[in-house]
């Protein structure tokens, strides 16, 4: 039976809910929070995740993301020199005390942003990349829209207090995931506990205390102002699974770190990543009247499954394939499915799709084939 459905490669239907049914309420002391798994983007726990709140310096995740995208695309290099403007030097708050016209490399400025949340370096990088802070903010909001950050409006690259500068725990998780998933080199900076700049003249100590005190911590960014209170996007990896814990508007610095640990501990204790594969080789499917005799099915979705740990041991994989197809067959056309279950519960339903297109034979091609068969048969 021919199906015209084209399946995106990322399509996997999981049964894990945004806030797991029956999950105990966690002792998180914040206005909003969220726990997300990096590879799948699945939300494991959330409270008030779409509430618009001030993010303080957690804003800088977007500044860092745009900088890393420029580096990884070749538009910017780590050893490029960035010149500090008078405006960049006027930021106040967390900074490394840049002097007007002082030059540091992109690497050093990025390090200062990641480790000590330097406002002056954030603006200097923004001006270097976009020509002005305002032009960079426009890029920030454009990128936020592309990532589906519908709760977010950025007003500056730093997170310093400004009317209308808001985001949500969910949106912070989205941009955090984009950064750590597609720009893993950022770990060189976000995992630094202590370092120096200016040939040792300027000391740096990470504002994210989890880097030193939490097993597997990989980043990511702290933030605090009087209005935003204490905020954090914390990332950590154990046993090949990386989690993102977002805390917004926690009453104290200690509470934000402890709350992030509660979320991360819950995720690592309760969930696991595993790779599911077909129990046997996927057989080619015959195609009637096609310019190829068969089409090869392949997985049309990710084979990485996130599931509660108690369900992993009992995983069962079931295959369904079409017995035959009639040409034409489109590349990406669904030709079956692979269902993953545990204890009778469906955890994933991954489509099988045609690896390549198969065109239908023309009248003359059919005639020539018939004549060849008749000639050979005689």
User: Kind of pairing, strands 229-238 and 217-225?
Assistant: antiparallel
Q: Burial of 350 by CB count in 10 Å (0-12 exposed, 13-18 middle, 19+ buried)?
A: buried
Residues 6+ apart with CB under 8 A from 344: none
Q: In this structure, are residues 123 and 137 in contact, taking their beta carbons and an 8 Å threshold? A: no
Catalytic residue among 38, 60, 221, 249: 60
Active site residue 250: no
3 state SS of 325: strand
Catalytic residue among 30, 38, 57, 249: 57
Q: Taking the alpha carbons of 257, 263, 266, 267 in that order, is the dihedral positive or negative?
A: negative
Q: In this structure, are residues 244 and 233 in contact, taking their beta carbons and an 8 Å threshold? A: yes
Catalytic residue among 85, 94, 117, 168: 117
User: Cα 96 vs. chain centroid, distance in angstroms?
Assistant: 30
Q: In this structure, are residues 322 and 357 in contact, taking their beta carbons and an 8 Å threshold? A: no
The span from the CA of 43 to the CA of 48, in Å, is 13
Omega before 328 within 30 of 0, i.e. cis = yes
For residue 252, list its beta bridge partners.
none
The span from the CA of 135 to the CA of 137, in Å, is 5
Active site residue 117: yes
**Residue found under tokens 């204790």:** 269
Active site residue 272: no
Hey, which residues are catalytic here?
57, 60, 117
């Amino acid at each position: 039976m021919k199906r015209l459905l084209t399946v995106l490669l990322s399509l996997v239907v999981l049964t894990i809910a945004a806030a797991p049914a029956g999950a105990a309420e966690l002792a998180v002391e914040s206005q909003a929070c969220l726990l997300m798994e990096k590879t799948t983007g699945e939300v494991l726990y959330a409270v008030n995740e779409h509430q618009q709140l001030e993010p303080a310096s957690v804003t800088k995740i977007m500044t860092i993301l745009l900088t890393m995208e420029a580096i990884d695309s070749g538009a910017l290099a780590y050893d490029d020199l960035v010149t500090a403007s008078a405006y960049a030097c006027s930021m106040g708050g967390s900074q490394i005390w840049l002097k007007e016209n002082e030059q540091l490399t992109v690497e050093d400025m990025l390090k200062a942003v990641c480790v000590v949340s330097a406002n002056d370096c954030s603006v200097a990088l923004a001006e270097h990349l976009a020509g002005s802070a305002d032009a960079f903010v426009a890029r920030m909001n454009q990128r936020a829209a592309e990532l589906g950050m519908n709760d977010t409006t950025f007003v500056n690259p730093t997170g310093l207090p400004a009317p209308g500068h808001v985001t949500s725990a969910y949106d912070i998780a989205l941009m955090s995931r984009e950064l750590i998933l597609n720009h893993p080199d950022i770990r060189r900076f976000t995992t630094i506990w202590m370092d120096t700049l200016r040939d040792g003249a300027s000391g740096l100590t990470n504002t994210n205390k989890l880097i030193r005190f939490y097993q597997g911590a990989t980043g990511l960014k702290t933030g605090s102002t009087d209005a935003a209170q204490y905020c954090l996007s914390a990332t950590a990896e154990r046993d090949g699974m990386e989690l993102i814990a977002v805390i917004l508007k926690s009453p104290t610095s200690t509470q934000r770190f402890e709350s992030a640990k509660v979320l991360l501990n819950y995720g690592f204790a309760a969930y696991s990543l595993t790779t599911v594969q077909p129990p046997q080789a996927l057989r080619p499917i015959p195609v009637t009247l096609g310019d190829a005799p068969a089409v090869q099915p392949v997985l049309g979705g990710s084979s990485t499954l996130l599931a509660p740990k108690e369900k992993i041991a009992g995983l069962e994989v079931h295959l369904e394939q079409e017995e035959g197809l009639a040409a034409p067959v489109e590349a990406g056309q669904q030709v079956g499915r692979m269902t993953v279950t545990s204890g009778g519960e469906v955890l994933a339903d991954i489509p099988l799709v045609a690896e390549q297109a198969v065109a239908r034979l023309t009248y003359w091609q059919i005639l020539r084939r018939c004549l060849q068969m008749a000639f050979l048969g005689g």
